[in-house]
Each structure stands twice: as C-alpha cells, then as structure tokens.
Chain A
Amino acid sequence: MSAPVRPVLADLEVGQELFRRGYDVDRDRLVRYAGASGDFNPIHYNDRAAHDAGLPGVIAHGMATLGLAGAAVEAWAGDPGAVLDLGARFARPVVVPDPGAAAVEVVGTVGSVDVGAGSVRVDLTVTCAGVAVLTKARALVRLA
C-alpha cells in the first residue's frame, strides 16, 4: 500500500479549490460511528427518539459529519498527522433517511498560507442537499 503524494505549500494560492469529496451517510454509518465513538444518543439511530426530541428524523452525529470533513482534509494532505487543527459550528442537522442515505459534500479551498509556519488554512464548505450543515469549518494543515 502506498501513501498519497503530499501537496507542497509553495504551490498553493488563496482561494484555490483543493479537493471535493462526496460521502453517503446512511443508518449503517451512524451505527458504526456510535460504536466507534461511544456516543449512543438514540436520536442518531432511533426514529421514535428523534421525533420525541423534536427532530424531523434520525440525524447524524455532528462529530460524524466533522469526521467526514477531516477525512477529506487528511486524504488531500497525505498524512493524518498533518492536521493540526480542525473545527466547525454545527449549523444544520444532517437528516438520515431509511432506506437511503444523505449525501454530504466536502469542498476544501485555501483560506490562507503561512510560509513561515509551514502551514495552510483550509476553508471547508460542507453541505447536504445544497444546504450548509457545518459553518465556520476550517482546518490548519502542516505542509513542507
């Protein structure tokens, strides 16, 4: 297995689109995320619990969605350990149908480049059905 080639800081320009990745979020993924994370809030797998909580249906864990964004960033960066900082505001829930899946798209663009520090701020647009589900989403990535 070979690791992806790492991008080079000097090649980056502010505003440049770096990557665009789509993920299907279905109930199976939510169950896997619940088990892996230990977050067993039933609003993430049980329709009745979700409706009782005033939600339109089962929703994805906010951290599962941010995890997808992180996956897209590290795939581009070529090293999961290069992601120094990652954060977002959970603006809208990702409602996950059954059967079927919610399509989440993650687009990364260059926010700023710090040549001295050897890092790039990647601004993330994370949408589901054209609506931003995360806002203020950004990552700081160390590059050579």
Chain B
Amino acid sequence: MPEPSPRPTGVDPTLVGRSYAPTETYEVSRAKIAELAAATGADHPAHTDPDAAWALGHGDVVAPPTFAVVLAQRAEQAYVASPESGIDFARVVHAEERLTHHRPIVAGDRLRTTVHVDKILRRGALTLVTTRAEIADEADAPVSTVVSTLAVREGDMPEADG
C-alpha cells in the first residue's frame, strides 16, 4: 500500500521498546474493591466480606479479576498522554485487553506499575498500540501483567473495528 501524505498527528512508531518509570505507590482499599465489584456485577462475598475472603485463604477482601486495569490505565497515561506518543486520545478506541494474575490483588496491597510500549502496528487507517503494564508489590514481586491494545484512527474513516 502506498503511504499517503503526512498527517497532522500520528503515533510515533519509534517508541517501541520504551519503558516508563514506575508510578507512585497505589494502596488498594476495601472501598475501591467494593466499588469496582458493584459496578461490574461481581457479587462474590469475598469482595466485601473479609471472613469470606479469609475462608478462601486470602489475606483480605479480594479484587475482581479486572481490577488491575484501574492501575494499568493510570500508569499507561504516562505514555498515552505524553506529547511524544503522538496519540490523539479523541481518536482512540480500546481494541483488546488481557490480564494475567501472578497472585490475586487484595485490600492493603501497595502496588507500583511500570509501563512498557511493546508493539505499534500500522493497519490501514488504524494504528494498533500495545502496552504492557507490570504491576508489582512492595517487595517487587510480580502481581499482575496487563496487556492493552488501543486502536488509534489516523485517517478520516469514521468507524473501524478493533
């Protein structure tokens, strides 16, 4: 495919391999876990009742499996919202997400997130940007890996599928 004329904005493909400094420590609260669980219909008692969580062998109430995205999305902003990324957030749709848990997140966890830019792929009018957020605890032990792919519309096409 021939490359059309230059665009006013565009994702910078040279940032692949870039890592961003870990975020400030995020302390996971029982209240935040309860809020996210309620919003996503996660009604397991281990989200809100410490006794139910302890009965399953957890140290405190357990986060729903998508909770790690709250941390990942905050951390991704260091890259996505930076001027050097070339990403116009008004043209972004979420294309794909995958969370891998090395252990469950529980209330009281103090976590830091490091974001890596893994892949930038041009596909017609879309650019697919894949980041990987590595979430670790205070002892630097891995907790969750969150891989996100954003689709950035760079042409004038009004709609495209992820």
A residues near B, CB below 8 A?
A: 1-4, 23, 29, 32-33, 35-39, 53-54, 61-64, 66-68, 70-75, 78-81, 83-92, 136, 139
Contacts and interface: CB of A to CB of B under 8 A. Distances in A.
B97 A84 contact: no
A2 B94 CA distance: 37
Q: Which of A64, A67, A92, A139 has the most CB of B within 10 A?
A: A67
Top 10 A-B pairs ranked by shortest CB distance? A67-B40, A87-B98, A81-B104, A71-B42, A36-B35, A83-B65, A32-B39, A33-B39, A62-B94, A70-B65
Interface in B60-90: 62-66, 69-70, 73-74, 90
Contacts of A68: 40-41
Contacts of B44: 3-4, 71, 74-75, 78-80
Interface of B: 32, 35-47, 49, 51-52, 55-58, 62-66, 69-70, 73-74, 90, 93-101, 103-104, 147, 158-159, 161-162
A3 B55 contact: yes
Main secondary structure of the interface of A (DSSP, over half): mixed
B39 to A, nearest CB: 4
B95 A90 contact: yes
Given A36-B32, A80-B42, A87 B94 contact: no
B98 A70 contact: no
Contacts of A87: 96-99, 147
A68 B65 CA distance: 10
Contacts of A75: 42-44
B79 to A, nearest CB: 16
B49 A73 contact: no
15 contacts: A3-B45, A32-B39, A36-B35, A36-B38, A63-B69, A70-B66, A74-B44, A78-B44, A79-B46, A84-B100, A85-B101, A88-B97, A90-B162, A91-B162, A92-B161
